[in-house]
Amino acid sequence: MVSLRTPPPFPVYALFSLAALLCVIGESVPALDRCVQDYFFRNGEWLLTERFHAAHKTLLYTAPKVLVGLIGGAFLLLFFIALTRSATVKHLDAWKKPALLVGLSIALVPLTVAGIKAATGVYGPVDLLPYGGKHPHIGLLQQLWHYGHTAGGRSFPAGHASGGFALISLYYLPVSRLVKRALLTLGLCAGWLMGLYQTARGEHFISHTLATMCITLAVVTFLARKLRL
């Protein structure tokens, strides 16, 4: 049987430090973000235009979010089944805590990111003057330093990618190490694909998705420790 004592894929404190560093670098030096973002904005138009998004929104935007939600719901259902049936079906006991972790992660990671987004007030590229928007590109710390408050945006960290990154929690399922690595890779790829979709639309800078990845890893690892996985 595979042990439930799973070493975390990354150390918790290093994650918080990295997330903080990304906030400082990415949001205090806007030129760094723009170096990457400019590749997605050519001739006054985003790589993925609003016409493209409108035509493919259901498949490329809504469907991944719904799928992640269904996965979370399925694992919460598995947790309740394991909770009530583990005495009669022995192998379900090993899945109880990991299933709860996945369900909680898929629920709490987006909520955590949404709360931080509301507090930072950072605008996305589409709202900024260099990309045809109405607001100057001023980093988060620059906003606080010069004006004593944040702006009115809701783009940092990236919210859409948070659901995909929450699938990192699948790493803690009671499976072989090879499968664990595959599930960790799946979560990272899902988060980045969802994040880059929004970046190509002008909704987020690359640093927004990087910060979301680090926040997700920290939240998932914290929950895993609390559940003693």
The model's pLDDT over 152-182, given as tens digits with 9 standing for 90+, comes to 788 889 999 999 999 999 999 999 999 999 9
Does 62 score more than 60 pLDDT? yes
The domain limits of the chain are 12-28+48-226
pLDDT for res 49: 94
pLDDT for res 58: 96
pLDDT for res 4: 44
| Integer-rounded Cα radius of gyration of the chain | 19
Instruction: Check if the beta carbon of residue 22 is closer than 8 Å to that of residue 217.
Output: no
pLDDT for res 141: 76
Q: Which amino acid is at 38?
A: D
The model's pLDDT over 183-210, given as tens digits with 9 standing for 90+, comes to 999 999 999 999 999 999 999 999 899 8
Q: What is the mean pLDDT of residues 45-65?
A: 96
Backbone phi and psi for residue 41, each to the nearest 5 degrees, phi listed first = -130, 105
Q: Which amino acid is at 163?
A: G
Q: Which of 7-11, 76-80, 106-110, 142-146 has the lowest mean pLDDT?
A: 7-11
Q: Which two tokens stand for residue 194?
A: 């969802």
Residue 131: C-alpha distances to residues 2, 48, 142, 217 (Å): 51, 14, 20, 31
Backbone phi and psi for residue 156, each to the nearest 5 degrees, phi listed first = -125, 125
pLDDT for res 185: 95
The model's pLDDT over 97-109, given as tens digits with 9 standing for 90+, comes to 999 999 999 999 9
Q: Which of 164, 156, 143 is nearest to 33 (CA)?
A: 156
